[in-house]
């Protein structure tokens, strides 16, 4: 005659707690995997690419200022570092990979790492503030209404203030007209500072030509008008 083995109440409680712990850890792992899968990046999201491009442009500007500083570099760097912090906040809010950056001509890098060719040796990043930028190919320097920066995309710098632009091609005071061909909206802005792109619009200027929810203008016409 066999005897049934019974568990004491303490052992039953211990087994139940263990089962709950195992189930809980499994659920946590699944949630973590799901959240990671939901994070978007520059390769699969236009919004994320626009933010990553803005981040990369500002990082290039900071690197150039550090490589060849002048009397105003510290103030410019502090301003751009604040912009970088704000872009990262926007990346997180948009479900993008925080710290991912895209610099001119480079692939996306996680965590804000520099691109190949995106160091201070890169012509896009080596323009120091206060130096006269080189004119782009085909630009005579005085033609009004001439299309420049052909093929360039346009994004925002994250800076506030009245509509304005920054550029690595044109000196402060240059007037540029930017047209978004996807919605035929245009804005004419004055270059006020140096950046890592042919033209980088501040927040107010970008709002005048953007499509809702987009942080990058892929089809743009840029004209020098003054």
Under DSSP, the state recorded for 201 is: E
For 8-46, the DSSP string reads -HHHHHHHHHHHHHHHHHHHHHHHHHHHHHH-B-TTT-H
Q: Count the helices and strands in the chain (H runs, E runs).
A: 4, 8
Q: How far apart, in whole angstroms, are the C-alpha atoms of residue 61 and residue 198?
A: 12
Q: Does some domain include residue 130?
A: yes
CB 78 within 8 A of CB 129: no
∠ CA 22-23-26, rounded to 5° = 90
- In this structure, what CATH number is given to the domain that contains residue 166? 2.40.40.10
Q: How far apart, in whole angstroms, are the C-alpha atoms of residue 129 and residue 161?
A: 20
pLDDT by 10s per residue, the chain, length 226: 555 566 566 555 555 555 545 555 554 445 444 455 578 887 888 778 888 888 888 888 888 889 988 877 887 788 778 788 878 887 888 888 898 888 655 555 555 433 323 333 333 333 333 333 333 333 333 345 788 988 888 988 878 899 999 888 899 999 999 999 999 999 999 999 887 788 989 999 999 999 988 888 989 999 999 8
pTM over 0.75, yes/no: no
- Report the DSSP beta bridge partners of residue 216: 155
Element (H, E) at 76: helix 73-93
Q: Does some domain include residue 55?
A: yes
Q: Does some domain include residue 65?
A: yes
Domain enclosing residue 134, as ranges: 46-224
For 139-188, the DSSP string reads --SS-SSEEESTT--EEB----SSS-EE-SSS-TT-EEEEEETTTTEEEE
- Report the DSSP beta bridge partners of residue 217: 154
Q: Does some domain include residue 211?
A: yes
Q: Does some domain include residue 20?
A: no
Total tally of structural domains belonging to the chain? 1
- C-alpha dihedral sign at 183, 188, 192, 197: positive
Q: Does some domain include residue 114?
A: yes
Paired sense of beta strands 185-193 and 165-166, if any? parallel
Q: How far apart, in whole angstroms, are the C-alpha atoms of residue 162 and residue 203?
A: 9
Q: What is the CA radius of gyration of the chain?
A: 25
Q: How many C-alpha atoms does 45 have within 13 Å on its Cβ side?
A: 18
């Amino acid at each position: 005659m066999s005897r049934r083995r019974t568990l004491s109440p303490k052992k039953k409680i211990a087994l139940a707690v263990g089962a709950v712990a195992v189930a809980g850890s499994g659920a946590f792992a699944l949630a973590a995997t799901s959240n990671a899968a939901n994070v978007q990046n520059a390769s699969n999201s236009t919004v994320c690419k626009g933010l990553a491009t803005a981040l990369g442009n500002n990082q290039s500007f900071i690197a150039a200022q550090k490589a060849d500083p002048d009397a105003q570099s510290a103030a410019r760097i502090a301003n751009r570092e604040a912009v970088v912090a704000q872009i990262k906040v926007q990346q997180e809010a948009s479900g993008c990979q925080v710290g991912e950056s895209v610099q001119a001509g480079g692939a996306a890098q996680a965590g804000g790492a520099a691109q190949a060719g995106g160091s201070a040796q890169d012509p896009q990043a080596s323009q120091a503030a206060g130096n006269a930028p080189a004119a782009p190919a085909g630009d005579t320097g005085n033609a009004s209404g001439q299309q420049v920066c052909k093929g360039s995309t346009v994004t925002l710098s994250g800076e506030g203030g009245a509509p304005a632009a920054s550029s690595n091609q044109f000196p402060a005071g240059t007037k540029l007209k930017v047209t978004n061909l996807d919605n035929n909206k245009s804005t004419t802005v004055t270059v006020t500072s140096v950046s890592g792109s042919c033209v980088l619009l501040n927040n107010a200027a970008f709002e005048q030509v953007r499509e809702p929810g987009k942080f990058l203008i892929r089809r743009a016409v840029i004209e020098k008008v003054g």
